[in-house]
């Protein structure tokens, strides 16, 4: 899990600092599938970093790319289904990250 957390932190940082190259690469490599898989993790830190990655992807993406990825597969419903498995561990930082995704103002803290 430590390796996954380190890799997620690196990818989140790269997504934030270099969106012109990271956004298309993330999209072409089907990064949304990885996000959905990692949201099923038992570790809240992994779920939190995964949501931040998704937040930066959505914040920096074009409208067309957002709508293709989120609306086509109804990903907001899938995210809520994945997170409802661990609803007893729903912390304030997870709530804040979901809010940041909603308003498209994700921060890297």
Q: Mean pLDDT throughout 6-10?
A: 94
Q: How far apart are the first and last CA of the chain?
A: 20
What is the pTM (predicted TM-score) of this model?
0.89
Domain ranges for the chain: 1-103
Q: Give the tens place of pLDDT for each residue, 64-99.
A: 988 888 887 788 888 888 888 877 777 888 889 989
Helices (H) and strands (E) in the chain — how many of each? 7, 0
């Amino acid at each position: 899990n430590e390796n996954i957390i380190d890799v997620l932190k690196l990818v989140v940082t790269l997504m934030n600092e270099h969106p012109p190259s990271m956004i298309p690469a993330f999209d072409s490599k089907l990064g949304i599938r990885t996000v959905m898989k990692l949201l099923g993790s038992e570790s809240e830190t992994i779920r939190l970093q995964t949501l931040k990655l998704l937040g930066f992807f959505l914040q920096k993406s074009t409208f067309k790319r957002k709508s293709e990825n989120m609306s086509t597969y109804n990903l907001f419903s899938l995210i809520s289904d994945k997170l409802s498995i661990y609803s007893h561990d729903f912390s304030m930082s997870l709530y804040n990250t979901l809010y940041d995704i909603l308003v498209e103002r994700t921060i890297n803290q």
